[in-house]
Amino acid sequence: MEGDIRDLIRGIQNARKEMGLSVTDRIKLFICGSDSLKEAWTRFGESVAAETLALKTEWIKVEGQIPLEAGDDTWYVKIEKSI
């Protein structure tokens, strides 16, 4: 689980950079994935939010999510800049 979470954090940080966001910009995260990833998210989601400066996180499937690999599994994430 911790490896999946590290993959998620790395993917979020790379996506932030590609979006042109500053390292200090606050974001909103919309995340979904398999049942095993949901379990990891339930255990470590607060840490992910703190490390990625996410003011809001939600486990939901929404349009525009990008795939982020996690071993043999895939997270789906949408990042929005918080105002």
User: Helix, strand, coil % (nearest 5) of the chain?
Assistant: 40, 30, 25
Residue with tokens 């071993």: 71
According to the model, what pLDDT value does residue 83 have?
82
Profile the chain (83 residues) by mean pLDDT over runs of 10 residues: 94 95 94 96 97 97 96 95 90
Range of the domain at 17: 2-81
Largest Cα–Cα separation, the chain: 35
Query: Exposed/middle/buried for 54, CB within 10 Å: 0-12, 13-18, 19+?
Result: buried
According to the model, what pLDDT value does residue 81 have?
96
Q: What is the CATH number of the domain that holds 32?
A: 3.30.2320
* Number of domain units in the chain: 1
Element (H, E) at 58: strand 54-59
According to the model, what pLDDT value does residue 23 have?
84
Pairing of strands 54-59, 27-32: parallel
pTM for this prediction: 0.92
